[in-house]
Chain A
């Protein structure tokens, strides 16, 4: 008879080099070949510099509007959802970036429930993914159109959050990763900025709005420390620009006013660099993971409980349920 002894995993010293650590290199090669998908949604009423900021973040014209003052932007009568995809490449890594814009949000006289189309869109993407996943003959790599990150633009009034901001974030912070940013922050002096940030954070806390990175999803102490520091600095006060100017002999991205040049990447001027590092250089993968493991799973569980089981769609339409 077969006798198996369950031994504990004890760290054993290797007698020679095996090569297990090359798995990281193998993973890297595979993911580089496969490429990444990243879907970012930008929400905020018109005139807050959303498109400019996204172009600045990804250093290319990836949003709906081309650079500069491209003429009249007509405010649509209802909230529209416009998704534009580009493939950008850096260091051999290909990324399919989809920027989802929401023109018409918060621009009407009556903005009741203007977040409904957005909420519907996000849930539709989860539904699409769920249907693919549940399919019998499903694709090897399910196309991921789920919204990984929602950048919410706060108007720099200097006072507090507006009613619409609170309503939107309350409704959507449980469905998608929300990263609030303070738009056009070159409106405020450093003191005003700090006061405003402080007040906004307090308001978010009072209303129980959990923005990304959420407290409850910190894996370990290391993560928690890192994320705590980030949470303290949020919401980031940003400035966007795609024009370059000469400052002290260097060419910098910025905005030229009559009294000086606002440098976008200067940490003394604004927190754009912090946002970019956070969003792209350290937490890009985490955003996708939280979307997949937590938001999507919540949606999936709710759907399956509601329907009492999903019937998968297959080519010959057999009613075999693998749930």
Chain B
């Protein structure tokens, strides 16, 4: 459809539309959920306090880092901030215990579960009949704190970001940036960005706009990623100015000084310019990904979801059916496998028996042969014995004959001499 632009001949008044939207939103108020993740001791609570200029974590309500946690917890704190007639309901999701144990395998799982459960809540409330009250508790932004080692990302950092970059907007920050000199910081940032591209991690991308000025600013931010931040709410007097900073014996590190750290950039970006965009990307990209994946699993057997019969109420049954089918196929597979193994074992046994039978037979033959040989030997010996007996008898007869001859000749002699 080709839309033609038409010129107006007078003032109509719909240029007032943004103002109307503005007034309505101001009345409604805004919501924003921010998640902070990082090992304990990286200054997360201090940074939150500095960003929103409140004492979310105060001595009366100490931050999660002061409480020792054995496993990773996910904690939410809500605070209502008002400024210039605009209300912001800010939810901070903290993850104490992350990366603090000796064995940190799967310490990202509670975080993933939390984000998914918030998506699920929103999905359910979207599909309800009465949708008037739809609170948006989805996590709009995740600030990931990187320890200022000066070397590169840790295996834990890479693993976490790889698992969460498709579920939430990740903004990596270098914590406690006053540990590093400007050169070290530059090198560290370059190294981190290199590793992020190498592992194909998709961190939050600042959108391009039509405005030249804004693009310049966006480019400036992009060059300084990841942002190196310092947090503090203590006020120190420097050159007769009151600034927020950290007092060292060798100088004062000012939080809001652009040459000291990137805190102002973070604050402006997070609150003043890109808060709405973060919410939009969460809604249009991350939430939609979750939703389509979730619903695709339900419509596995072709149930039309557009009938709007509350697809969520069907899913438990369908889910159970699916699970049962899965279970059955798994059982069948296992049965087949066991049969195969059984057959194999039987074959082996048969082979073994055959072998041993052959062996026995061979031995039997061998023994028989031996026996026959012995038999023959014996025969030989008997014949020899017989021969000897014959010879001996023959000899005896000869001797007897000789004796007879001798005696008869003597008798003859006597007769003649009488």
Interface string of A254-294 (1 = CB under 8 A from B): 01111111110010110000000000000000000000000
B183 to chain A, nearest CB (A): 8
Interface string of A153-172 (1 = CB under 8 A from B): 00111111011100100000
Contact A268 B249, beta carbon cutoff 8 Å: yes
Cβ 8 A contact of B248, one of A158, A164, A189: A189
Count of CB-CB pairs between chains A and B under 8 Å: 107
Contact A155 B254, beta carbon cutoff 8 Å: no
Q: B242-257: which have CB < 8 Å to A? A: 246-254, 257
Contact A258 B260, beta carbon cutoff 8 Å: yes
Collect the chain A residues with CB atoms within 8 Å of residue B187's CB: 69
Interface core residue of B179, B187, B251, B252 (most chain A CB under 10 Å) = B179
By beta carbon, the residue of chain B nearest A269 is B249
Interface string of A68-85 (1 = CB under 8 A from B): 010011010000000000
A107 to chain B, nearest CB (A): 6
Cβ 8 A contact of B102, one of A75, A164, A259: A164
Instruction: Flag the segment in A1-9, A109-117, A138-146, A208-216 that touches B.
Output: A109-117
Interface size class of B (residues with CB under 8 A): 35 or more
The B interface is mostly helix, strand or loop, or mixed, namely: loop
A112-B102, A187-B179, A259-B260 are known contacts. Are A269 and B250 too (CB-CB below 8 A)?
yes
Q: B109-158: which have CB < 8 Å to A? A: 147-152, 154-156
Interface string of A235-263 (1 = CB under 8 A from B): 00000000000000000000111111111
By beta carbon, the residue of chain A nearest B182 is A258
Cβ 8 A contact of A109, one of B43, B151, B155: B155
Q: A181-222: which have CB < 8 Å to B? A: 184, 186-187, 189-190
Interface residues of B (CB under 8 A from A): 39-43, 65-66, 68, 100-105, 147-152, 154-156, 159, 176, 178-179, 181-184, 187, 191, 246-254, 257, 259-260
Interface residues of A (CB under 8 A from B): 46-49, 69, 72-73, 75, 107-112, 155-160, 162-164, 167, 184, 186-187, 189-190, 255-263, 266, 268-269
When A and B form their complex, which 5 residue pairs have the shortest distance between CB atoms, in order from nearest? Answer: A47-B149, A157-B41, A260-B251, A259-B251, A260-B250
Cβ contacts A to B, 19 pairs, < 8 Å: A46-B149, A47-B150, A69-B184, A73-B152, A75-B151, A107-B154, A109-B156, A110-B105, A112-B102, A155-B147, A156-B41, A158-B41, A159-B65, A159-B66, A163-B102, A257-B182, A258-B259, A259-B253, A263-B250
**18 extra A-B contacts, CB within 8 A, seeds A111-B102, A159-B65:** A46-B151, A47-B148, A47-B150, A49-B150, A72-B151, A73-B151, A109-B104, A109-B159, A155-B147, A158-B43, A159-B40, A162-B100, A186-B248, A187-B179, A190-B249, A257-B178, A258-B257, A259-B251
